[in-house]
């Protein structure tokens, strides 16, 4: 003990400091280490390379404006090049259907990869692209803008503003439909206790693993009883925990 200074236990020191402060929900700007060369979190990033995609909500206002202008210009080209104005194969209100905007933007990025890139088998990829274009046009007419022949009709309401539905979603079981053995396999994987299919197969080949009579798919291996799951093998009884 240092002379003139009283030594306290960790629990006493915590009591002297008073109650812990609740963590603030206000996001704080975090800065990436200088050595990484990345911009601090929350700072505008540079524009995405041509042919790649960024989420609209992750772009700066300038990036959003440029991307939206380019997409409109590309859709104009697409309509004229493929004569989509005939029978309104691509509804004129495409820009007012968010899902259709995302589909067309993905088509544009994919076409850039095929026609301006150096990927092999570009001809085959181009055929796939045209097949996907037909699918998007069909979806536009039958799903996104099915009721827009006499004028644009948007979604009746926004799910993000439906508090009751959001609560029901939050209370739903995200593991519903997953067999207990596979849930146990996930725990075993995190704990390092999951035997891989290759390990069990090799044990069968050398005689270290043997089937248990009367128990379907159960094997004896390494002094324990194992059963299969979708991602590997777990010890019997793990799924009952």
pLDDT on residue 66:
94
pLDDT in tens, 6-24: 555 554 454 445 544 444 3
Average pLDDT value over all residues in the chain: 78
**Distance between CA atoms of 38 and 26, rounded to whole angstroms?**
23
Q: Are 48 and 109 in contact (CB under 8 A)?
A: no
pLDDT at 235: 87
Residue given tokens 């042919």 in the structure block: 51
Please give the share of the chain, as a percent, with pLDDT higher than 70.
72
Q: What is the mean pLDDT of residues 98-112?
A: 93
pLDDT at residue 32 is higher than 70:
no
Instruction: Tell me what the mean pLDDT of segment 71-89 comes to.
Output: 91
pLDDT of residue 1: 45
pLDDT, mean of residues 102-125: 88
Q: How confident is the model at residue 92 (pLDDT cuts 50, 70, 90)?
A: confident
Q: Give, for 196, the enclosing helix (H) or strand (E).
A: none
The DSSP secondary-structure symbol of 195 reads B
Q: What is the pLDDT of residue 16?
A: 47
Strands 209-211 and 224-229: unpaired
Out of 81-90, 93-102, 157-166, 176-185, least confident range:
157-166
Range with the lowest mean pLDDT among 105-109, 118-122, 209-213, 232-236?
A: 118-122
Q: Please tell me which residue, 239 or 142, carries the higher pLDDT value.
A: 142
DSSP 92-129: TTGGG-HHHHHHHHHHHHHHHHHHSS--SSHHHHHHHH
Q: Which pLDDT value is given to residue 71? A: 93
Q: What digits encode the pLDDT tens for the residues 148-183?
A: 765 676 656 666 788 887 888 788 887 888 888 888
Q: Which residues lie below 8 Å from residue 227, measured CB to CB, with a gap of 6+?
A: 181, 217, 218, 219, 233, 234, 235, 236, 239
Residue 193: exposed, middle, or buried by beta-carbon count in 10 A (0-12, 13-18, 19+)?
Answer: middle
Average pLDDT over residues 99-116: 93
């Amino acid at each position: 003990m240092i002379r003139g200074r009283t030594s306290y236990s960790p629990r006493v020191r915590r009591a002297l400091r008073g109650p812990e402060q609740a963590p603030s929900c206000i996001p704080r700007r975090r800065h990436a280490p200088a050595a990484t060369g990345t911009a601090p979190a929350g700072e505008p990033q540079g524009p995405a390379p041509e042919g790649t995609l960024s989420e609209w909500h992750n772009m700066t206002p300038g990036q959003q404006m440029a991307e939206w202008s380019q997409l409109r210009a590309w859709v104009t080209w697409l309509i004229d090049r493929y004569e989509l104005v005939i029978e309104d194969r691509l509804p004129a209100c495409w820009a007012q259907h968010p899902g259709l905007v995302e589909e067309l933007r993905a088509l544009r990025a994919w076409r850039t990869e095929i026609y301006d890139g150096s990927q092999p088998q570009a001809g085959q990829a181009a055929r796939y692209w045209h097949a996907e274009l037909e699918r998007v046009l069909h979806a536009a007419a039958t799903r996104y803008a099915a009721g827009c022949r006499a004028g644009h009709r948007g979604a009746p309401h926004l799910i993000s503003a439906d508090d009751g539905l959001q609560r029901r979603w939050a209370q739903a079981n995200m593991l519903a439909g997953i067999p207990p053995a596979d849930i146990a396999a996930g725990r075993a994987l995190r704990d390092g206790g999951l035997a891989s299919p290759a390990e069990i197969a090799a044990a069968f080949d050398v005689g270290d693993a043997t089937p248990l009579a009367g128990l379907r798919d159960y094997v004896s291996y390494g002094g324990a009883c194992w059963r299969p799951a979708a991602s590997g093998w777990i010890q019997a009884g793990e799924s009952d925990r």
